[in-house]
Amino acid sequence: MTKGPLRVVIVGAGFAGLNAAKALRQEPVHITIVDRRNFHLFQPLLYQVAAAALNPSDIAYPIRSIFRRQENVRSVLLAEVTGINLSDKTLSLDDASVLPYDYLILATGATHSYFGHDDWEEVAPGLKTLEDALLLRQRILAAFEEAERNPDDADRLLTFVVVGGGPTGVELAGALIEIAVHSLGKEFDVIDPTRARVLLVEGAPHVLPVYPEDLSDSARRQLETLGVEVLTGTMVSEIDEGGVTLSDGRRIESGLVLWAAGVQASKLGDILGVETDRTGRVHVEGDMSVPGHREVFVVGDLATVPGVPGVAPAAMQMGRHAGRMIEADLRMRSRFPFHYRNKGALATIGRARAVADFGQVRFGGFLAWVAWLAIHIFYLIGFRNRVLVLISWAWSYLTFRRGARIITGVPRLPEKGEP
């Protein structure tokens, strides 16, 4: 190791990376944070950007601002890590520079997986990044505009299929039907947006398959009350520009298919060259370090720990644990294993509906939605973001309107010769 303060490099400023850095705030180390984005993204509210309820800057916060008062964060680098040399203890960055470390914390998260059908990505966009959310927003709003110009094709254009009945799929389906019925319902001259169909397709027998069965059933009822058609025990076997084909042979003509299924760990798991599971998540030791490399930790969605779900609270706890293990080393104390404290799970289903699972206490409906709202506001980073999100939600709740209905990009370029 080098003379002087130890160099801790944290790759990824998501929930895990941020909490690792914060856990080390009192320690005599030099921290470098590397991320390919200059902002921390609050992924649980991404679907609200896709659904035109929030603006991108409401759920993203500059990494430099987060650490402006943490003196041992010596450097924040906007760069992509492209290589890791475990024996030299160096990282390669996308500008071909090399970054040495004494301790490395890898927290680069996960992306979506199309289960080997990568060609579906073009026709069924997923939701993982801010760019994804803006693309979805553009395609959702553009579908209504296109239907207004082509009313003969409106039935197809206004049929939305959401693939995957986990929390993201359920949230998206609920938001889509509310856009159609409440936000756009009276604003078009030719088409009737309230006639839009939203189908939620899930391969498992229940939506929210990892939740207790009574809550899954409650979520289904709440979705159906809103008008979402829920198809469980059904897989999608083909997706193309015109719609989807289901495993039972049924064909659904659709103007927009949204992908909210499969998860694939960030490719840094592969680059590391250690054992991973089939989704690319790294098998770690009990203290979250990489087998054979006590100085390298993998945390958050990039790590696989039995019984620990890929959710934000787990990522935060893993990140904090890695920080504490470095602190234990510095103070010549023994390391201890990571224990996940399950604080419960919440999924929202539209404007005033949700399900909440706090172990012994489980409930659905308006109260669960209030709990969802309070927790998301609490964990959002930045006072400004909290205030703006609260105002946007209060306004949308009272008026049924959405403040971010802007179509960005060019949904359809004019044909040659077209005025």
Ligand X SMILES: Cc1cc2nc3c(=O)[nH]c(=O)nc-3n(C[C@H](O)[C@H](O)[C@H](O)COP(=O)(O)OP(=O)(O)OC[C@H]3O[C@@H](n4cnc5c(N)ncnc54)[C@H](O)[C@@H]3O)c2cc1C
Q: Which two tokens stand for residue 247?
A: 């495993």
CA 193 to mean position of chain CA atoms: 28
- Asked whether position 320 contacts ligand X by CB under 6 A, the answer is no
**Residue ranges in 112-141 that form contacts with ligand X under rule CB under 6 A:** 127-128
A 10 A CB-CB count for 111 gives 17
Q: Which stretch binds ligand X (CB under 6 A): 67-75, 106-114, 140-148, 275-283?
A: 106-114
Helix axes 15-23, 312-330, angle to 10 degrees: 30
CA distance 357 to 210: 11
- Asked whether position 266 contacts ligand X by CB under 6 A, the answer is yes
**Minimum CB distance to ligand X, residue 236 (Å):** 19
- Asked whether position 357 contacts ligand X by CB under 6 A, the answer is no
- Asked whether position 284 contacts ligand X by CB under 6 A, the answer is no
Q: Which stretch binds ligand X (CB under 6 A): 67-75, 226-234, 278-286, 309-317?
A: 309-317
Map residues 209-238 to x or -, x wherever contact with ligand X holds by CB under 6 A: ------------------------------
**Minimum CB distance to ligand X, residue 245 (Å):** 25
Do the Cβ atoms of 116 and 278 come closer than 8 Å? Answer: no
Interacting residue with ligand X among 16, 21, 173, 258 (CB under 6 A): 16
DSSP 66-88: HTTT-TTEEEEEE--EEEEETTT
Number of residues near ligand X (by CB under 6 A): 34
Closest to ligand X by CB, 302 vs 380, is 302
Question: Annotated catalytic residue: which of 71, 80, 145, 171?
Answer: 171
Type of residue at 328: A
Closest to ligand X by CB, 226 vs 268, is 268
Q: Which two tokens stand for residue 341?
A: 């404290």
Q: Which two tokens stand for residue 392?
A: 């946007």
**Residue ranges in 18-77 that form contacts with ligand X under rule CB under 6 A:** 34-37, 43-44, 46-47
Distances, alpha carbon 191 to alpha carbons 37, 242, 284, 321, in Å = 40, 20, 54, 54
- Asked whether position 80 contacts ligand X by CB under 6 A, the answer is yes
Closest to ligand X by CB, 50 vs 181, is 50
Interacting residue with ligand X among 280, 313, 323, 364 (CB under 6 A): 313
Interacting residue with ligand X among 6, 9, 15, 159 (CB under 6 A): 15
Interacting residue with ligand X among 8, 12, 257, 321 (CB under 6 A): 12
Q: Which two tokens stand for residue 79?
A: 């760069």
CA distance 68 to 24: 15
A 10 A CB-CB count for 41 gives 23
Query: Which residue carries 């490395």 as its tokens?
Result: 104
Pairing of strands 251-253, 243-246: antiparallel
Closest to ligand X by CB, 36 vs 195, is 36
Maximum CA extent, the chain: 75
- Asked whether position 259 contacts ligand X by CB under 6 A, the answer is no
Interacting residue with ligand X among 226, 228, 296, 315 (CB under 6 A): 315
Residue 176 burial (10 A CB sphere; 0-12, 13-18, 19+): buried
Helix axes 213-226, 167-178, angle to 10 degrees: 20
Q: Is 171 a catalytic residue?
A: yes
CA distance 3 to 79: 26
Do the Cβ atoms of 394 and 352 come closer than 8 Å? Answer: no
Interacting residue with ligand X among 10, 13, 24, 173 (CB under 6 A): 13
**Minimum CB distance to ligand X, residue 412 (Å):** 26
Binding site for ligand X (CB under 6 A): 11-17, 34-37, 43-44, 46-47, 80-81, 107-109, 127-128, 167-168, 266, 268, 300-302, 310-313, 315
- List residues with catalytic annotation: 171
